[in-house]
Amino acid sequence: MAKAKPRVAFFDFAGCEGDQLQIANLEETLLDLLEHIEVVAFREVKTGDEPPYDIAFIEGSITRPQDEARVKEIRKQSTFLVALGACATIGGINCLKNFHSEAIYRTQVYGDRARWYDTYPARPVGAVVKVDAELHGCPIDRSEFLRVTKELLLGKRPWIPDYPVCVECKEVGNICRYDLGRPCLGIVSRAGCKACCVTEGATCWGCRGLAPHANLDAARYVMEDIGGFSREEAQDLMRLYLGWTQAPL
């Protein structure tokens, strides 16, 4: 009798679902993955939901009272729960609304129909239920998703880089954004993205969250004294993805 495959599920809360789309777009690699797992819930690609789950991936932030009951039930049905993407791991862009009054963001988002919808300040998944692993980024890196999934299936603790994006920038030979007169959060952001945004000519917005032991005092010195950016400019950049951390940069 063939051994049952691990039961894997994907769920979405408040977010663009771009992380699940990254997984659906694995193409031929996805077929290899499906040889080792049974997908029992994944709204973007199939109907139905068949708990319990060996691994549940959750994308999106918790932004409504009813989200809490749903994510707690998923947690109850899951052996391992993985936060998937910036909105799930660090609150992400959804947390921008936390800096405004409820009346303002209700009006901006829902207009004259605001009273029809439930909403409250955004939170990452880990603020409501225990999370066993986090896959960072906006969107996630597909190769990292495959590696972390393989490690979970093998019973290993997933390895996630604990150093800043600056390390990867130097590895690929990028010119420091500060030498070009541009602000960048690679100095305090968790690596693992291969510095893709900087390599493509943009800057790091910190979508993978703060690196463990990020030196915010040194970052403040770099941004203000070397880069010449104001405290307000630094805070605006931090709030784009890192609003939940309320890091005092």
When pLDDT is averaged across residues 137-157 and rounded to a whole number, the result is 95
Is 246 a residue whose pLDDT tops 80?
no
When pLDDT is averaged across residues 50-61 and rounded to a whole number, the result is 97
Residue 203 pairs in a beta bridge with none
| Residue 2 confidence class, pLDDT cut points 50, 70, 90 | low
When pLDDT is averaged across residues 145-156 and rounded to a whole number, the result is 95
Rounded distance between C-alpha atoms, residue 154 and residue 232, angstroms: 46
Q: Of 203, 196, 94, 77, which is closest to residue 144 (Cα–Cα)?
A: 196
Given this model, what pLDDT does residue 220 score? 86
Is 248 a residue whose pLDDT tops 90?
no
Query: What share of the chain has pLDDT > 90, as a percent?
Result: 80
Rounded distance between C-alpha atoms, residue 110 and residue 27, angstroms: 36
What 3-state class would DSSP assign to 117?
A: coil
Given this model, what pLDDT does residue 27 score? 82
Secondary structure (DSSP) of 9-76: EEEE-BS--HHHHHHHTTTHHHHHHHTT-EEEEETTT---B---EEEEEEESBB-SHHHHHHHHHHHH
Given this model, what pLDDT does residue 231 score? 87
Is 200 a residue whose pLDDT tops 90?
yes
Domains and CATH numbers, the chain: 7-154 (3.40.50.700), 165-240 (no CATH)
Residue spans of alpha helices (H) in the chain:
18-24, 28-34, 65-77, 86-90, 102-110, 142-153, 165-172, 196-199, 216-220, 231-242
Residue 219 in contact with residue 188, Cβ under 8 Å?
yes
Residues 6+ apart with CB under 8 A from 184: 176, 177, 178, 198, 203, 204
Rounded distance between C-alpha atoms, residue 153 and residue 7, angstroms: 10
Q: pTM for this one?
A: 0.93
| Residue 245 confidence class, pLDDT cut points 50, 70, 90 | confident
